[in-house]
Amino acid sequence: MENSPLENAMARRLHRRAIATGEITVPAVPGMLEHYVTMCLRLFESLGRGFTDEQVDNLRSILDDQLNEAFAASPRSEIVISYEAPVGLVVNYHVKCRWWSVEGAYENWIATREPPLFGSEPDARVWNLAGEAADPRTYPILDLGAGTGRNALALARRGHPVDVVEMTSSFAEAILAGAQEDALTVRVLQRDIFATRDDLRRDYQLIVLSEVVSDFRSTDQLRGVFDLAAQCLAPGGRLVFNAFVAHRDYTPDDSALQMGQQCYTTIFTQSQIADALVGFPLILVSDESVFDYEREHLPAESWPPTSWYADWVSGQDVFDVPRSDRPIEMRWLVYQKW
């Protein structure tokens, strides 16, 4: 039954006498500006504070500025919307942005999450590629962005000489400690993977980037990986990395690309990857689904490696749809130097 006009009139007065304060923190995705505007307006309207068209335009402008500033600074960025509604029709709000470097975000993971952060087993794709070597001692490996050392330490235990480049200090220190504890042949270089090549070998048989390309912000960085591999792989050596690739019939828009970066899910199209490869003596020799490969080849008790892994590699951190409907997925790409 509908309320009477008088009851509705009293309800309006009731809302105006409410006092509310709060704060909303959301990732910064500039391409989804109108969703932020709608979220704020619905919240304020629920408190009995409607906005005029002019006030809506002002809110939109403020949100737009803060979203763009935050996302330009880092893919690990967010905006914080704080509000206060005193007695009456007014709502006071403030929007600010904040961000972390990728290194800072991972340092926060270490401080706030229970290990193992990325699982305890080496990646099956990496392990099986390296396992093709007749003698591990003559099969040097470069692990770029090695994280906790899942791959690097396991490969070193099998006898491979392993070089590690890792920018997050806590990760680098943990890998070094693990290598020293087991007397493993692991050289740890703490820096950005693109900072220099002067300290790298030129005869690696395998270069690995596991869960690294998913943090890139541009195809220039992808081209930088191909360039590094071309310079540092021995002839016949291989480069393996996993990346989120859009299905052929899907072209991600700015919103999807930005949301992907916020979810450790940088998306590349197949044509972007092919274009980044142009000019380098590398050929694609394998392209496989990460979900399918790891599920099939990891020990049964190690699948999935973490509680979030299966959904993440399926692209469902960005698209809240069944796995069969997602327009992207993470794939293992293997290139060989000719």
Q: Which domains does the chain have, with CATH numbers?
A: 5-99 (no CATH), 102-337 (3.40.50.150)
Beta-sheet pairing, 233-246 with 328-337: antiparallel
Q: What is the pLDDT of residue 115?
A: 76
pLDDT for position 175:
97
pLDDT band at 11 (very low <50, low <70, confident <90, very high): confident
Distance CA 235, CA 26 (A): 47
Q: What is the mean pLDDT of residues 140-167?
A: 97
Give me the helices (H) in the chain, please.
5-16, 33-46, 53-73, 102-112, 124-130, 150-157, 169-181, 219-232, 254-262, 270-277, 290-297, 309-313
What pTM value is reported for the model?
0.92
Q: For the residues 215-230, what does the mean pLDDT come to?
A: 97
Dist CA 72 CA 268 (whole Å): 19
The pLDDT assigned to 113 comes to: 76
Among residues 205, 217, 211, 225, the alpha carbon closest in space to that of 159 is found at 205
CA separation for the pair 67, 314 (Å, rounded): 27
Q: What is the pLDDT of residue 294?
A: 98
- The pLDDT value recorded for residue 106 is 79
- Over residues 147-170, mean pLDDT: 96
